[in-house]
Amino acid sequence: MRDWDQWLQEREWQPVAADEFRGLPADEKLRRIRHSSAHVMATALRHVRPEARFAIGPATEHGFFYDVKLDSPLSPEEIAAVQEGMGKVAKEKQPFEVAVIPHADAVEFFRDKGEQYKLEILERLVDQTVTFYRNGDFVDLCAGPHVPDTGFCHHVKLLAASPAHWRGEQNPSLQRVSGTAWDSRDALKNYLSFVEEAKARDHRVLGQTLDLFSFHPWAASALWHPKGLIIRNELGRFWRELQPEYGYVEILNPVLYKPDLFHTSGHWEHYHEDMFIVRDEAGDPDFVLKPMNCPDTMLYYKTQAHSYRELPLRVAESQVLHRNEVTGALHGLMRTRSFVQDDAHIFLAPEQVQDEIRQLLELVERFYSVFGLEYSMKLSTRPEKFMGAIEQWNAAEAALKASLDAAGREYTIDEGDGAFYGPKIDISIQDSLGRRWQCGTIQLDFQLPQRFELEYTAQDGTRQTPIVVHRAIFGSIERFIGVIVEHFAGAFPVWLSPVQAVVLPISDEKHLDYAVDVTARLRKAGVRVEMVQYESLNYRIRQAEKQKVPYILVVGEREQEQGTAAVRRHKVKEQRVLPVADVVLEIMDKVRARELDVHVAKIAAKFVEPSAATTEENPY
């Protein structure tokens, strides 16, 4: 075996140029601080856990992580020891140095060190020279770039150590040690304040606290409680009122199909590993739980002949879908194995594409504005594995780009991230915490209509193949609800609140009959209202505030005599005394208008986000 310490000393190590680093834009400096902080963490971790074997350690949007193989999970005491060690490494201002290494030497080095994950990375880099970076006694396979020395990594905080999957494995084998890193003490402090706010808004916590939904390890999605189902139903009612204005019809198809459907659509070739498959006695695929609504909507189209006069034909379906996501990808409502998607498929002639996309962009704006959600768009182009002719792809991408340009929409281009059957416009909504969630999508598809041999009679009497636009705006209903629970911190607008008002009699003996009458009047008008008695008034008010009920109506002697109620709004100090009829009118006006009557704090404004692109892919 080589003397690797001697071998390392003989390499031509080059320091990271301090002058170059000082001249970088602030966002690039921050990105390098975060990447370097992953190495600082690894340096400290190796002293706490010498058996650690390292996979990837990139910068992320607000920090970094390193996926590592450990004999057992890190304890809180060990995480604290790693944090302390990071402080010592930063204080030592260890220089970052880089050396170019032949591929064969790199393989031999990491094989002798027992670094199996580095070897797997090197397998993808055959016939290439690679770079090692070192600081102190830590040496890593890394493309960089880094800061000049570890002293730039002072403002760092470890946040979590959680299970992680290596390259799609079914069960997690790694520990992801993650943290945040900033360029000043104040920036770190502000971000940690943001993290605490995010924890308080976690939809998995609020779902239990507000009795909306819960999770069970035996279930493929959430268990919806009555209050949570009210929110879900209100969203569905809103959507079903809005869609007919834009000319949509709604259908309902089965969830279970023969594999032939997906062989015809092409999904089997590209997607069958993510499907739930029911097998026959011989073990062969017999039925499939559908993972998307596209193929069977093509079947609906084929049930009758169509003319150009019917186009665009806008067909909506919100059916339960199932996808066999790996365990490590599951996250509350944000990623489930069973979900409902607000799909629509629009069949149209080529000359109608631009106008249809323009109308869809208008619908997107109208929809998200109801919730006070900001959003961004990206045009995702042809992936490496695709279906159809390149000429059709080029035409489809050009059509989407022209539609976005004509509508004056800002967008970015995400090369190679389109669906296998066509390019798409992905729509990411931004919540009050500044996080982006990919929910909506508009996809142009030339492939499925051909594979299903769809036709319409054109104006000249010829038989033509329609183009299909796939469209979702909620995306997954489950994910959208998870997003808005956190966006509103559980304090929903009145129209969406499971309980819109609570009536509290000051005295059960003296004022109960009046409270019952007020409750009945509100309920008859269509208000979702509860009456709460027995405990002390202050306790009941606190409980109503914790449950984030928009209207709290307190009734006592004065209110009983005057036919009024003392009205409190959630998190509003002012109390008003109003006639009950006026309270009913105010609530129902807000409901009918779907008024955004809550203040949505922009929590992300507490810290400055970097604009430099970060990645969760290994630099190699």
78-82 average pLDDT score: 96
Question: How would you class 168 by CB atoms within 10 Å of its CB: exposed for 0-12, middle for 13-18, buried for 19 or more?
Answer: exposed
Does the pLDDT of residue 91 top 70, yes or no? yes
pLDDT at 433 (0 to 100)? 78
pLDDT tens sequence across 458-500:
999 999 999 999 999 999 999 999 999 999 999 999 999 999 9
Q: Which two tokens stand for residue 423?
A: 């390019």
- Whether the CB-CB separation of 425 and 413 falls below 8 Å is answered with no
Instruction: Supply the pLDDT for residue 611.
Output: 39
- pLDDT-derived band at 354 (thresholds 50, 70, 90) equals confident
pLDDT averaged over the chain? 90
pLDDT at 497: 97
Which stretch of 55-64, 400-409, 480-489 has the lowest confidence by average pLDDT? 400-409
Q: What is the mean pLDDT of residues 2-16?
A: 89
Residue 607's pLDDT band, with cuts at 50, 70 and 90, is low
Cα–Cα distances (Å) from 8 to 122, 147, 531, in that order, read 18, 21, 75
Do residues 426 and 378 touch, judged by C-beta distance below 8 A? yes
Sheet holding 97-101, edge to edge: 14-15, 97-101, 130-135, 138-141
CA angle in degrees (0–180, nearest 5) for 14-15-19: 130
In this predicted structure, which of 17-31, 163-177, 235-249, 455-469 has the lowest mean pLDDT? Answer: 163-177
Tell me the per-residue pLDDT of 419-441, one tens digit each, with 9 for 90 and over: 777 889 999 888 877 788 888 89
Q: What percent of the chain has pLDDT over 70?
A: 96
Give every CB contact of residue 516 below 8 A, 6+ residues apart in sequence: 531
Mean pLDDT of 39-62: 94
Active-site residues, by number, are 294, 323, 341, 343, 345, 424, 470
Tokens of residue 515, six digits: 């409270």
In three-state secondary structure terms, 24 is coil
What pLDDT is attached to residue 609? 52
In degrees, rounded to 5, the angle at the alpha carbon of residue 64 between the alpha carbons of residues 605 and 93 is 105
Tell me: pLDDT of 404 over 80: yes
Q: CB neighbours of 50 closer than 8 A, spacing ≥ 6?
A: none
* Per-residue pLDDT at 604: 63
Give the β-pairing of 248-250 and 313-317: parallel
Q: Which two tokens stand for residue 449?
A: 């209509």
Give pLDDT tens digits for 105-157.
999 999 999 999 999 999 988 877 899 999 999 999 999 899 999 999 999 99
Does the pLDDT value for residue 613 go beyond 50?
no
pLDDT of the residue at 541: 94
pLDDT digits (tens, 9 = 90+) for 559-603: 999 999 999 998 888 899 999 999 999 999 999 999 999 988 776
Confidence (pLDDT) at 606:
60
State the pLDDT at residue 608. Answer: 54
Residue 605 pLDDT level (bands cut at 50, 70, 90): low
pLDDT of residue 618: 36
DSSP E strand stretches across 337-452? 338-340, 343-348, 374-380, 412-414, 424-430, 436-445
Residue 617's pLDDT band, with cuts at 50, 70 and 90, is very low
